[in-house]
Amino acid sequence: MAEEAGDNPDIRSLHVITAQGNKVAADLVIMAVGMQPRKGLAFAVGLNVGKLGVSINEHLQTYDPEIYAVGDMTENADLVTNRPASGALAGPASRQGVWLQTTSVAGTFMTIASTGISVHTAKTLTFNIEWVTIHPPSHAAYYPGSWLMTWRVVFDREIGLVLGAQVTGIEGVDERIDALATCIQAAMTMHDLEHLELSLTPRYSSTKGPVNVAGFAGGNVVDGDKRILHSEDLASLTDDWELVDVRSEEDFFGVHLRGAINVPLEHLHGSAKALIVQAKCILLYCEVGYRGYLAYRILSQMGWDVYNLDGGYKSVVEGGVHLPHDKATRRIHECTKISGGELNSRIR
């Protein structure tokens, strides 16, 4: 830092203050501090992270071949020494970006968008907030090339005022997040989303588009027509709860939450009383939440104390929920593994 020396304000003495509080005088101070990438996210998702950055191969792929990394946050093998070297140089970073854009992987990148407040921010506020998770197709599922998206829409529980949204997907994310940003600016509610008349043709959207579906899901919660729990609530469930998987037997035996019983939706009317006998509360789930909602309506009208798992089993897997492996809770994954590629496969 600089400070005045003596009575002459034009003469300044430059010095460095050490960690011990000592002052070291200098005529010139060079701050050669370097840089380090922020590697927390890469650690969290299980990528290989070296001292210099995220490890990549010659194709810019990380440990997960579906995740690519370029530029300042990477390390790869030096051409001469074959030792890990930093990628924090403008020239290589620029070329990596251009190469990645023009290779065969172009066109299948995931888009991540957010507007308003996120779920993470909402949890820190004192508002009476809620959020819903949906997994709609990017356009009509019967039209070729449709991809599943994941939406989380945050709203006020009492009046349904839209407060924020997060959307991920391969197609159709940008225009949908723009629509939701406009809804927030216009102080619209989840019920307003239900009635929005947006563009409709199978190539671009479904009869009930994603914005409308988000409105239906949130409006049901606001009106009290549906009670939900989120995937992060699973670890706190006690033995008073019964976990019911309403998917098909084939889906259930492929992978499910430990402790769940399987009552396929089409058998629910005839099997509910025989299979669900001791539970004080019932948590229903399916793959993405829709069949769980239908089952919720059936059982709630039969007098059961029932909840639906928001976003279904897909939200547990994609949300990275880590549940405790102990006897206090049965809500942990079975060992059967489904790859992310299968979960995000195209809708045929």
pLDDT of residue 333: 39
Residue 179 contacts residue 162 (beta carbons within 8 Å) = no
- What is the percent of the chain where pLDDT is above 70? 83
Task: Write down the domain spans for the chain.
Answer: 40-102, 111-222, 228-343
pLDDT of residue 68: 86
Q: DSSP letter at 231? A: G
Structure tokens at 309: 């798992």
**Confidence category of residue 174, pLDDT binned at 50, 70, 90:** very high
pLDDT of residue 289: 93
Of 149-158, 237-246, 255-264, 328-337, which has the strongest mean pLDDT? 149-158
DSSP string, 180-222: HHHHHHTT-BHHHHHT------TTT--SS-HHHHHHHHHHHHH
Lowest mean pLDDT among 95-104, 160-169, 233-242, 330-339: 330-339
Report whether pLDDT(209) > 80.
yes
* CATH of range 228-343; options 3.40.50.720, 3.10.20.740, 1.10.238.10, 3.40.250.10: 3.40.250.10
**Confidence category of residue 225, pLDDT binned at 50, 70, 90:** very high
What is the CATH topology of the domain spanning 40-102?
FAD/NAD(P)-binding domain (3.50.50)
Share the mean pLDDT of the chain: 82
Lowest mean pLDDT among 27-36, 59-68, 139-148, 226-235: 27-36
pLDDT of residue 329: 34
Q: Specify burial of residue 238 (Cβ count, 10 A radius: 0-12, 13-18, 19+).
A: exposed
pLDDT of residue 218: 96
**Confidence category of residue 160, pLDDT binned at 50, 70, 90:** very high
Report whether pLDDT(57) > 50.
yes
**Smallest Cα–Cα separation from 308: which of 267, 250, 252, 265?**
265
Lowest mean pLDDT among 87-101, 241-255, 313-327: 313-327
Provide mean pLDDT across the span 36-59.
Answer: 84
How many contiguous H segments (helices) and E segments (strands) does the chain have? 11, 15
φ/ψ of 293, rounded to 5, equals: -65, -45
Residue 73 contacts residue 62 (beta carbons within 8 Å) = no
Report whether pLDDT(313) > 60.
yes
What is the CATH topology of the domain spanning 111-222?
Enolase-like; domain 1 (3.30.390)
